[in-house]
Amino acid sequence: MDKLLDFTGKTVLITGAAQGFGELLARELAARGAHLVLGDLKTDALMAVASELKAGGTKVVALHCDVSNEAHCQALVDGALETFGQLDIAVNNAGIAHTLGPIETITNDMFDQQWQVNVMGVQFGLRHQITAMRKQKHGVILNVASMAGLGGTPRGAAYSAAKHAVVGLTKTAAVEVARDNIRVNAICPFFTATPMVTKSDLVSHAGSLEQAKDALSRGAPMRRIAEPEEIVNVMLMLLSPGNTYMTGQAIAVDGGASAI
């Protein structure tokens, strides 16, 4: 196996691993030899993924995890250390969207939920992941942000504010831990055909999934939304053991949208 894609023996923690980017990344890393620590709020779906990976020979720890609960985030890190003795890589992937609407209609509850899950969920992860990685003097952390964290997002104010915060956390953490040989980056995908999009109110508003994809694709020069595999391939590059000098970056994977 190419050393850039060889994760043999690496312990990787992934939140939001029951579906979407998290599930696909877990499968890709399992195929490349990683040990996995998986968390998700959807316990049944998570355990199904874990069971399938274990049947294929991957060493997996799977735990119910609500990332807005700090104790759950700590339990994932503790599970990695207790089972595998180290935490090499952490992916703070879990997140939620909200019902779209003009900024004046976004409620306090919507902002609070975005803050607790999308921001504090990342901060809780960073807190305990970095504590473990500082002791071992190495580690890689990837936060899943969004193109909404790099620019304005009409009708998605609370989500955009939260993802901007994730980018800020990423850059700040990267500077603070660089001397401990810990890299911290963020990935900022464009609209992607994951459940967050395909099962959202975007579809009902557009009339059908294909109509929603067509409407969303107009924002990208490539004139299509992303497939999950395209985002996960970039995640693998960012996490690669051979990628040792890249840190503090918020990488847009957007079909050219940010080039306009």
Give the active site residues.
159
Place of tokens 């055909």: 193
Two structure tokens written together for 222: 């490539």
116: which DSSP letter?
I
Separation between Cα atoms, residue 101 and residue 103, nearest integer Å? 6
Separation between Cα atoms, residue 247 and residue 170, nearest integer Å? 9
Strands 60-64 and 11-15 come out as unpaired
Strands 35-40 and 60-64 come out as parallel
How many angstroms separate the Cα of 140 from the Cα of each of 92, 137, 177, 215, 226?
11, 11, 10, 36, 25
* Sheet of strand 182-189, all strands in order from the earlier edge strand to the far edge: 60-64, 35-40, 11-15, 89-92, 139-144, 182-189, 250-253
